[in-house]
Chain A
Amino acid sequence: MLTRREFLSLCTKAALTTSLAELLLTDLGQAVLARESGKPTVIWLELGSCTGNSISFDNVATPSVKELFSNVIDVRYHWLFMNVEGHNTLAALRQAQKEKSGQYILVVEGSAMLADGGSWDIVAIENGRPVTGLAMLQDLGAKAKHVIAIGTCAAFGGPSATHPNPSQSVGVQEVLGNRVINTPGCPCHPDWFIGTLYHLINYGIPEMDAYNRPKLFYGRLLHDQCQRRTYFEKGIFANNPGEPWCMFKIGCRGPITFADCPNREWNQTDNWPVGCNTPCIGCVEPGFPDISMPFFQRYPDVPIPTRTVKMEKAALALGVGTLGAIGMHFAGNIITKRLRKNLAETSMPLNPPGPHNLAQLEGIKAVNPVPAAQQPASDPAVTAQHAIQQVPTQQVRTRKPGSRVKPKRLRRTLKH
């Protein structure tokens, strides 16, 4: 079996010629066989999602899906693969939950939906009553050894929570707390997920960043690893998608995105969004996609302590040393969430769309509240109502039409 050090170096290796998962699988299988407890049990719960992460997981297949299912993990519940229907599926889930209580790994795909007590997402019928995804998440989460949120919806709300977030979607950690390990991405790269799973099974919880993402995969700024970084430094920028230069001026989110796409690349090809002559849209970041839209628009100038930096000019004028400082500044701002807040505010639709629609949706909730006694519940102790009390509903950010948000420091700079 690989030592932890070997494993880490394998994961961060600059140019992987083949899929990481492919390299790991044999080893992962051996490690599992060596364990007395047998294959670790995995329960895969899908909530508010597009199923893209299951598809991406499927894309790991050399020989992964067969190898994974037969020798590595014991997937007791995943409704995209299961043979039986309806109550038989649920029976399998409950049996696994009971047998492996406190030992299973819960993988959650998709956002937790809070609207109307969670009833916008129904995942099963139990004892004649619908069970909400939210209630199921709480119930399964309470008895899981580890929880992995796969994809940006599960990690941070993601596309499901796009403004105005009609379904009041939030990330899994808003419901289950800080213990959730986030492997975001839209979709999550199969290597990121399998690598995290491998670490979890063999070495325990990986080292994580401020957003509970394994540093192994989400530890470095994408901008610093980009093949087109030299163009950025020389000030050679693409003015349209399709040009082979730095994508910064047409909205690349590389400078605020922590992922290893430039090195890892996608689908066993040499390609990834910037390689494909389009901007990175920052899909692994909290606040995606709101902080990234408009996707093809350069984001606002960045205030740093001494001046406001117009990034494309900064590259030429300031030289590489200062650029490093800017990079650090980006990183600092991301940790403090300041930059993210500014970006989110500037990228929301300027004219909040059709408030009458939302108001109507709100109105429906107001005139048709779900009585507490009829709350769907898989376990009387864990009701959706209970969940709502615990979970702060994500505030929908609204702006007055036409108002522009100016960061404080930017305003100060403009006065000079």
Chain B
Amino acid sequence: METHTILPLTRIHQPLRLDIDLEGNTVIDSRSSGTMFRGFELMLKGRDPRDATYLCERICGICSTAHGVAATSAIEDAIGLEVTPNAALMRNLIYGADILQNHLRHFYVLALPDYIDTPNFPPFVPKSNFDKRLSKAENDKLLESYWLGVDMSRLAHQLLAIYGGKAPHQHGIIVGGTSMVPDADRNNRFRGLLSSLLRFINEHMLPNTELIATRYNDYFKIGKGPGTFLSYGMFPQQQGRSKLKYPAGVYLNGKYAELDPGLITEDNTFTWFSGSKAQEKPADADSLPDRHKKSGYTWLKAPRYANQVMEMGPLARMWISGDYRNGTSTMDRLIARTLDAKKIATWMLEWLDELAPGQATFTPFEIPDSGSGIGLTEAMRGSLGHWVKIEAKKIAHYQIITPTAWLFSPKDKNGKRGAVDTAIVGTKVKDRDNFSEIGRIVRSFDPCFSCSAHLLEPQGQIDEFRIF
């Protein structure tokens, strides 16, 4: 058996460290981890609850609106505030634009260079020329789409800024609703840009994905996930979570079921956290750092749903909504992401029609002396939850569980690996210099390590840190 360490695994937001054990050419174990820790949960304590929206956005530059939405929902849940229907639509439009931006950027800038021959100048050289299967004509076509894709992701941020003020780190979504009232002028500009994006998705992104899926069809068998899916659901059509456009749900043991947030726990068995129990619920996680805990080897807690490892992201949303249930592989994830982009762009056109120009989007509120709230949403790359407690009108307790924590979690007390490690184990590696196969699998999850965190020690041991 030999062990290889890959750091940095590139084309990921903040790099990923991956340690893989090979037996012959087959991966027999995989341990993934992020390498940077900032501590946002600690920063949030004692703050004015309204600050959570803008501060949480700073956790991640690519999914900042997702953190903004989750934080806002959690605070509003604690206040007991219901936003106006117009505000709910506006939020969906701002949030949708950021998701389009993420999906375009992920597919073209991050994932595509795994499959095409990139240009001959830095930063695209040095190149990995392993397993490039496209003809020159096909490659040229995709390269053209690559540069267009970069432009389009910028346009998606322009779309966001029409009602969101700026991007990344938007200003429009705030506790109480949104800050801009829709008007015909902005709606018109929004529609124009959105139509261009939808056309690009239809005319480039879908055929490009199809071409990659045809040429690399063996990746329908490589990188299979745990086969369990979780979605918190997203895009409320009215106030609250009563009517979500993307349904919440779980797919577990071959059955679809309703989501029960009460079944979400964080496992501490192999972490340096000591609390009253080995498993704790995020709302009242009382464990404290305990570097001397004998069974501990990591700072990263392992989130589980009914003690099961869950996969999430566009593929999970597609399985649970029933739009695409082909498989659980690397290529299925890429296809699901493209379909997700198309679906959301189409919905956005509908929401734009439903907007009532000139009608209120902000509801004034009082911050309560105490309260607690949960904000659940689907970030671009999977289920994101914020749990908040308010005491004396300040944030007293804040917990964040990101999709990255779910996907890249360490083993739990039952010895179950996280979703990404599960997908990597069993892969046959041909490219021993660059580990291209592993890169393709990992990137199909669209990982974001700004959203995770941990700490390495100089000896090379992994001292992982809990989220942020």
Contacts and interface: CB of A to CB of B under 8 A. Distances in A.
A374 B17 CA distance: 20
Interface string A20-38: 0000000000000000000
B24 interface: no
A79 B50 contact: no
Contacts of B399: none
A248 interface: no
Q: Could you say which interface size class chain A belongs to?
A: 35 or more
A84 B128 contact: yes
B169 A69 contact: no
Interface in A126-156: 128-130, 133
Contacts of B44: 353
A294 B45 contact: no
B128 A268 contact: no
A91 B128 CA distance: 13
Interface string A254-295: 000000000000111101110111100101000001000111
Contacts of B465: 120
A81 B124 contact: yes
A162 interface: yes
A122 B288 contact: no
Interface string A46-88: 1111111111101111110110011000111111111111101
Contacts of A295: 48, 50-51, 54
Interface stretch (A164-172, A192-200, A325-333): A164-172
Contacts of B126: 83-84, 88, 91-92
Given A52-B64, A82-B11, A296-B50, A162 B55 contact: yes
A405 interface: no
Contact of A75 (B118, B122, B162, B433): B122
Interface stretch (B149-157, B244-252, B326-334): B149-157
Contacts of A173: none
Given A242-B362, A269-B158, A364-B289, A55 B7 contact: no
Contact of B162 (A269, A273, A351): A269
Interface in B6-53: 6-15, 17, 35-40, 42-48, 50-51
B22 to A, nearest CB: 14
Given A51-B450, A276-B172, A278-B174, A59 B167 contact: yes
Most chain A CB atoms below 10 A, which of B123, B165, B292: B123
Interface string A344-362: 0000011111101110110
Contacts of B162: 269, 271
23 contacts: A52-B169, A54-B61, A55-B62, A79-B10, A81-B10, A83-B113, A83-B123, A91-B126, A120-B37, A125-B5, A125-B7, A129-B458, A130-B457, A159-B58, A164-B42, A241-B179, A242-B181, A242-B361, A277-B180, A278-B171, A294-B51, A296-B51, A297-B48
